[in-house]
Amino acid sequence: MINSDSNIKLDSSWLSYLEKEFNQPYMQALKAFLVNEKDQGKTILPKGNQWFNALNSTPLESVKVVILGQDPYPTVGHAHGLCFSVQPEVKPLPKSLLNINKELADDLGVNNQHTGNLQPWAEQGVLLLNAVLTVEAGKTNAHQNKGWEQFTDAVIQTINDQTEHTVFILWGAYAQKKGKMIDRNKHLVIESPHPSPLSAYRGFFGSKPFSKANQYLLENHRSAIDWQLP
């Protein structure tokens, strides 16, 4: 829908609420930007058929938890459309993901050091959404302020409006600012510093987001997430 060459398809549960976004001027400008970048020979990550992987892996009616990231990994072969997640063969794991795994082990005794592929979380109802869905290879934040943020705001607004008792996990100031539209009387918002090595020791470690999320889900008659990766 952004680039016809990429054969992008969006799950119908999301499309019914977000289809109007694709006709907005900001999205047309984003499309023009991405086409121009490609025409200049720049490598856009992840691959076009993975731009909407988060939404296609976690249909709207399945969303239980939202983890909000910033933009995709800029290293070729890492990003596949889920925030913080890398493709199965990637070693060593990115440092933020190593810290997420450390907190998960401390929180629930879950050992996920063997993999950084979070696809099984997405398929259980954990929406792993980046605020910006593409990046230029080798250039972190290269596609910020090009339109993706407005689109993902619409995603968050849709979840806020159309679901009940969803957990939003917001790590770092960027994610917390983007979460301003969430109704905290209707959903649980868990906030802490970002898991990056620069900030993890300022309160991310020990924040226990995974057990808090599961406790809230169970208290509201929703099934818990199995955070253990295969």
Rg (CA), the chain: 17
Distance CA 137, CA 152 (A): 21
Pairing of strands 65-69, 126-130: parallel
Cα 107-165-63 angle, rounded to 5 deg: 80
Strand ranges (E), 1-46: 44-45
In the block, which residue shows the tokens 């398809």? 9
Q: Is 153 a catalytic residue?
A: no
Provide the β-strand partners of residue 65: 126, 167
Catalytic residue chosen out of the listed positions 5, 71, 106, 107: 71
End-to-end CA gap in the chain: 33
CB 211 within 8 A of CB 109: no
CB 90 within 8 A of CB 114: no
Torsion of the alpha carbons at 8, 13, 168 and 145, rounded to the nearest 10: 40
CB 152 within 8 A of CB 70: no
- 26 is written with which tokens? 């900001």
Which amino acids are annotated catalytic? 71
